[in-house]
Amino acid sequence: ADRYAVFGNPVAHSKSPLIHAAFAEQTGQALTYTAVEAPKDDFAGAWQRFAREGGRGANVTVPFKGEAFALCDTLSHRARQARAVNTLILGGNGRLYGDNTDGIGMARDLAHHGVALKGKRVLIVGAGGAVRGVLAPLLAETPGEVVIANRTAAKAADLAAAFADAGRTSGGGFAEIEGAFDLVINGSSASLAGDMPPLPERLFAEGATAYDMMYGAAPTVFLRWAEARGARPVDGLGMLVEQAAESFFLWRSVRPETAAVRATLRRTLA
Ligand code: ATR
């Protein structure tokens, strides 16, 4: 069986092995998928060892997406825009190809939830690697406007400027947020610490969706805050499954069905 793995640190709690095992079973693909905890200072060594032992490809998660980007011989356009790689594919010629499926995963998940972006006002909270990774696929859905707000305002402004060619974007601090939004995406790591970014009270338009790129057994502090203000809460579990499905497709040229896997994963969290 062909070997795949997710590389991270820490990685023990990753749901990716469970997701890819379900995809493999469903599609009848003969493969194994494990979790590899790479040393914080030697992602490249860990990958190369895996490749020597027959590894064909991998997913890459925190904190190695930038190092995976640097390691690749060839990069997809979307990986170059993200400056991060979450999917490694080892070619028959030994060359390493890097792609990034996070953004398309999020766009697919939003579609699953019936969230149409065309012409809508979108606010993104955070301006780190996670947000950079999803901006291009999000802008490709032609929202009316994308505002990026971040604790460090200059990082939001820089990121908005970097993607100005792809759509109408602006960026700044939380105090500069104005008006109502149809979709508010939390891409900051604030919820990991249980912190709530200082967002204005009147943030949501009628029928708005609040989307957290994080997920867990219980709703994040951001989603609880948003639901109390009338927005529909959606967590990042579907995004995880959809980015995995896209990686699986890149490796195996077979597109797995995600609905049952989302439901199974939700049950394992409860
Ligand atoms: P990631 O790859 O997860 O995006 P990152 O690049 O370190 O990680 O970015 C973390 C993001 O979460 C940043 O936007 C960060 O804000 P700063 O740029 O001001 O550091 C944001 N963040 C982290 N902790 C936060 C908190 N407690 N409140 C608000 N924003 C926070």
Which residue lies with its CA nearest to atom 14 of ligand 1?
126
> Residue 155, annotated ligand binder?
yes
Ligand 1 atom nearest the C-alpha of 151 is 19
Residue 180 and residue 171: Cα distance in Å, rounded? 16
161-189: buried (b, 16+ CB within 10 Å) or exposed (e) per residue?
Answer: eebeebbebebbbeeebeeebbbbbbbbe
Which residue lies with its CA nearest to atom 12 of ligand 1?
188
Residue 22: HSE in the Cβ half-sphere, 13 Å Cα cutoff? 18
pLDDT at position 161: 98
The answer to whether residue 65 is catalytic is: yes
Q: Enumerate domains of the chain plus CATH numbers.
A: 2-100+238-269 (3.40.50.10860), 106-235 (3.40.50.720)
The interface pTM score, or ipTM, of the predicted complex is: 0.97
pLDDT at position 204: 98
The active-site residue, picked from 40, 65, 118, 120, is 65
pLDDT at position 192: 81
Per the structure block, which two tokens stand in for 193? Answer: 């610490």
pLDDT at position 131: 96
| 199-222-129 Cα angle (round to 5) | 85
Between the CA atoms of 77, 81, 85 and 91, what dihedral angle is there, to the nearest 10 degrees? Answer: 20
Using one digit for the tens of pLDDT, what is the confidence trace for 26-67?
999 999 999 999 999 999 999 999 999 999 999 999 999 999
- Cis amide prior to 256 (ω within 30 degrees): no
Residues framing ligand 1 (Cβ under 6 A): 126-131, 150-152, 155, 188-190, 193, 195, 197
Residues of the chain with pLDDT under 50: none
pLDDT at position 194: 87
Cα(213) to centroid of ligand 1, in Å? Answer: 12
pLDDT at position 93: 92
Mean pLDDT of the chain: 97
Ligand 1 atom nearest the C-alpha of 65 is 2
> Residue 73, annotated ligand binder?
no
